[in-house]
Amino acid sequence: MQLTEKINALQTPCYLYNLTLLRKTLQKVTEEAGRYPAFHVHYAIKANANPVLLKVIREYGLGADCVSGNEIKRAVECGFPGNAIVYAGVGKSDEEIRTALQEDIFCFNCESLPEIRIINELAAQVNKKAHIALRINPNVDAHTHHYITTGIEENKFGIYLCDLDQVLAELPSLPHVKLTGLHFHIGSQITDMTVFRSLCLKANEIQQYLKNRGIVLPHINFGGGLGIDYNNPHAEPIADFASYFSTFARHFDPTSPNQQVHFELGRSVVAHCGDLLSRVLYVKEGKNKKFVILDAGMNDLLRPALYQAFHKIENISSRLPEEKYDVVGPICESSDCFGKDVTLTQTTRGDLIVIHSAGAYGETMASRYNLRNLPGYYFEGM
């Protein structure tokens, strides 16, 4: 990012979203998924729910993947029709289920039998038949950070394969739900395509098992998870959608020629389109190191503190020789640190620091810890 007068005038800390890059990314997503007519992409709103971004995403025809009643409402407000919305979550409240029923969403991705019974009951009250998919925990290891791995047996997510028969046996007694699909989501920030191949092979086995019992489902949903290159945001600003979709096209066997294949991509759509912009408050000389203390903290961008996540950090104000710094926030927590031994051009108070690739799970995970203000946001390429 270039330091311009406009950027210099922004109030920090703030997110700066690049809508031109977002459009290019969406162009690529729709082009690569569009090679396979049965493929449909839902954008996972939890990654970034900013209405301006959502409206652009909808322009490209993506559906929405929601995990709360408020996300469903936000999606509808931003132009996503109910029939393009999928809704997942291990703990859907009655009120959230009612919201989803009211919007006639495409599908509830269900994670347990008790949940399916409640959806049946609430759908009966409004005389509707809810379409459901069973979220299966396929026990496929995503080999990513353990906090964002969701498809192995020790996780709370999905229905275990050993419980599948019990669920199938009960469905005929629940007349207000209709089983239309299977759903998976095994984790996030996955860059190794062999993980997705393993998921396809597992899905093929499960579909064959169901077919042997006379069950052929109209759709399957593989969730999200495609990772991005946090190390090289400039060199690789668009995720490898071509490899991702072609992996599914190659390894997944639909049980019928018109079985539809859905995806729920979050991070890969928006991560590189947002940077966190922050100003240096102080440079503090420690015993053996120098600390750059920013006006942004872990409440603005939680990923480094929570997942030890790497984000590339750059000083756009200085062209002096490079030095090493620990880049930290102002909050009284040792984990309030954006990077240790970061190489930056020589830094002084007032310099503008860019924390790259913060468009996904940045603004949505911000909090008011310490009663700090929520970060602001600005757009480039409106």
| Residue 185 near ligand LLP by CB under 6 A | yes
296's CB contacts (< 8 A; 6+ apart) are 12, 13, 276, 278, 329, 338, 353, 355, 375
221-240 binders of ligand LLP (CB under 6 A): 223-226
Kindly state the smallest distance separating residue 264's Cβ from ligand LLP, in Å.
4
| Residue 252 near ligand LLP by CB under 6 A | no
Out of 62, 66, 148, 273, name the contact with ligand LLP by CB under 6 A.
148
Q: Residue 277's beta-bridge partner residues?
A: 14, 354
| Residue 47 near ligand LLP by CB under 6 A | yes
| Beta strand spans in 62-191 (E) | 63-66, 85-87, 107-110, 130-137, 159-160, 177-183
Q: Which two tokens stand for residue 208?
A: 């064959």
342 backbone dihedrals φ, ψ, rounded to 5°: -85, 135
Q: What share of the chain is helix, strand, coil (3-state, %, to 5)?
A: 35, 25, 40
Residue whose CB is less far from ligand LLP, 108 or 325: 108
Kindly state the smallest distance separating residue 198's Cβ from ligand LLP, in Å.
16
Out of 21, 33, 44, 133, name the contact with ligand LLP by CB under 6 A.
44
Residue whose CB is less far from ligand LLP, 264 or 295: 264
Q: E strand or H helix at 164, and its extent? A: helix 164-170
| Residue 265 near ligand LLP by CB under 6 A | yes
Q: Which two tokens stand for residue 30?
A: 């729709």
Segment contacting ligand LLP by CB under 6 A, of 70-78, 217-225, 324-332, 350-358: 217-225
Kindly state the smallest distance separating residue 155's Cβ from ligand LLP, in Å.
11
Segment contacting ligand LLP by CB under 6 A, of 31-39, 182-190, 325-333, 373-381: 182-190
Segment contacting ligand LLP by CB under 6 A, of 234-242, 258-266, 291-299, 342-350: 258-266
Out of 266, 274, 339, 359, name the contact with ligand LLP by CB under 6 A.
266
63 backbone dihedrals φ, ψ, rounded to 5°: -85, -170
**Burial status of residue 60 (CB atoms within 10 A of its CB: 0-12, 13-18, 19 or more):** middle
Kindly state the smallest distance separating residue 154's Cβ from ligand LLP, in Å.
16
Kindly state the smallest distance separating residue 190's Cβ from ligand LLP, in Å.
7
DSSP 167-214: HHHHGGG-TTEEEEEEE---BSSB--HHHHHHHHHHHHHHHHHHHHTT
Segment contacting ligand LLP by CB under 6 A, of 15-23, 69-77, 219-227, 280-288: 219-227
The three-class DSSP label of residue 329 is coil
Q: Which two tokens stand for residue 258?
A: 């018109």
Q: Which residue has the tokens 């459901």?
A: 132
Residues forming the site for ligand LLP (CB under 6 A): 44, 46-47, 65, 88, 148, 185, 188-189, 223-226, 264-268, 303, 307, 361
